[in-house]
Structure 1
Amino acid sequence: MSGGHEVDAGSPEKRKTLWVVLWLNVAIAIGFFAVGYFADSNALLANGLDNSSDAIVYALSLLALTRSRVWQRGAARFSGIMLLVFAAGVIFDAVRRFVEGSDPGGFMMLAMAAVAAIVNLICLRMLQRTKEKDVSMRAATTFSFNDFIANGGIIIAGIIVMLTGANWPDLVVGIAVACIALYGGVQILRDAHHDIHDEKGTEHEGGDQFRL
């Protein structure tokens, strides 16, 4: 799917890629928070929190470039736990809005999600061009893919809100984003766990070769 030039995971290009993706996510998170506040949208605020956690993951991935494989697994575990916590917070806010009521702005939801979808697609393509991904880079790719799917959901919800004036599409998408984050967090934690066995297998094979 990525095609074209591949970026070596150990090259300066990988660091450059992570820095670009990091700042793009910071910018998008700020946009989601600002527009989400004025649009009274749970889905936009949820994505703002999601992109904020993404930015932290990318920052951890940058630090992991010069750290051990154990440190990389720790960074991935931290990002996975963050996603689980984030998911719980979004669901709580959706329930609150359902009980207290809300009046989301459909056009603002649609416009912000469309811009974010373009940015997240750029981030995803950049990350996919990286070959020989370590566990932290795989976590970063998971985040960007989740974001792109979530943006499409917000666009659909924004259209329904504009047509009906109801708030439930916004809440449904907010909870859906939380579920995507929940799944992504579990996958990242599972990947970090499997990486331990992969490392042990590599060490075991190396030991066998040495004995031979």
Structure 2
Amino acid sequence: MSDCGCHHEAKNAQERKILTIALALNATMAVVGGIAGWIGQSTGLLADALDMLSDATAYAIGLVAIGRAASFKANAAMLSGAALLLLGLGVLFEVGRRVIYGAEPASGWMIGTAIVSFIVNMSVLRMLAPLKSGEVHLRATWIFTRADIVANVGVVAAGVLVFWLRSPIPDYVIGTLIGLYVVKEAGEILVEARRARRGVPMSDGSD
């Protein structure tokens, strides 16, 4: 009876449920944030929306990886990290473009949208907490969401400064910082994916 695999199947079902909810929430907020960033001319919001879109991609990959071989999961995490790296570099490019051509970010859109995103991401992070010390493809999803929360706080702070200083510079700064942070997180995922491929134990997420 102990070899029926029931516990393993229940664990997979729980992971699938968590990732499905997280995917739906992040995909929704990516659309909302992207629209708000476009209307509000905010590089910070656009960067945040792209970050959440990358989260949704990671959750989708995580769903596909459930129940698959360890090598497939490591490759899924590698794909997530590569996608995040490209998005981070894309954000940095967009910031540079707006610095050159100019923009007038709307602080109200920045603050309001970022607060909603923060609430959503905190909820998702709590759901993902049991997965952060799990297999590499699951830890990647937790890292994505942790990065989002930092970005949300930064966008709120930048929105306040944009309103106070009447300058777009804080928005450019937070857009740059989010882009750099995203690149850093992508590097962390890629390193862990390579370690998983070699069979090296992952870090425990206590950093």
Deviates further, 87-96 or 153-162? 87-96
Give runs of aligned pairs for residues 1-212 of structure 1, distance below 5 A.
10-130=11-131, 133-198=134-199
SS of residue paired to 2:148: helix
In the superposition, the TM-score normalised over structure 2's length comes to 0.89
CA deviation digits over 1:159-199, x for unaligned, max 9?
Answer: 00111110011111111111111111110011111112336
* Contact 2:26-2:53 at 8 Å conserved across structures: yes
106 and 174 in structure 1: CA distance in 2 versus 1, 3 angstrom threshold: same
Provide the identity percentage.
Answer: 34
Counterpart CA distance in 1 for 2:132 and 2:92 is 35
Give the length in aligned residue pairs. Answer: 193
**Which structure has the larger Rg over C-alpha atoms?**
1
Cα distance, 1:47 vs. partner? 1.1
The match for 1:203 is none
Distance 1:9 1:176 in 2: 40
- Matches of 1:196 and 1:104, distance apart in 2: 43
Return structure 1 stretches of 4+ with deviation > 3 angstroms. Answer: none
The 8 Å contact of residues 158 and 171 in structure 2, kept in 1 or not, is answered as yes
Equivalents in 1 of 2:133, 2:71: separation in Å?
A: 17
Equivalent residue letter for 2:69: S
CA–CA distance in structure 2, aligned partners of residues 188 and 9 of structure 1 = 26
Change beyond 3 A, Cα 1:63–1:22: same
On the 8 A contact 1:28/1:116 being kept in 2, the answer is yes
User: In the aligned structure 1, how far is the partner of 2:97 from the partner of 2:121?
Assistant: 29
The separation in 1 between residues aligned to 2:132 and 2:184, in whole angstroms, is 24
Contact 1:76 1:189 in 2 (8 A): yes
Alignment root-mean-square deviation, CA: 1.6
| Residue type at the aligned position of 2:116 | V
Task: Give the stretch that moved more between structures: 66-75 or 123-132.
Answer: 123-132
Query: Structure 1-normalised TM-score?
Result: 0.87
Contact 1:9 1:132 in 2 (8 A): no
Residues 9, 133 of structure 1: 8 Å contact kept: no
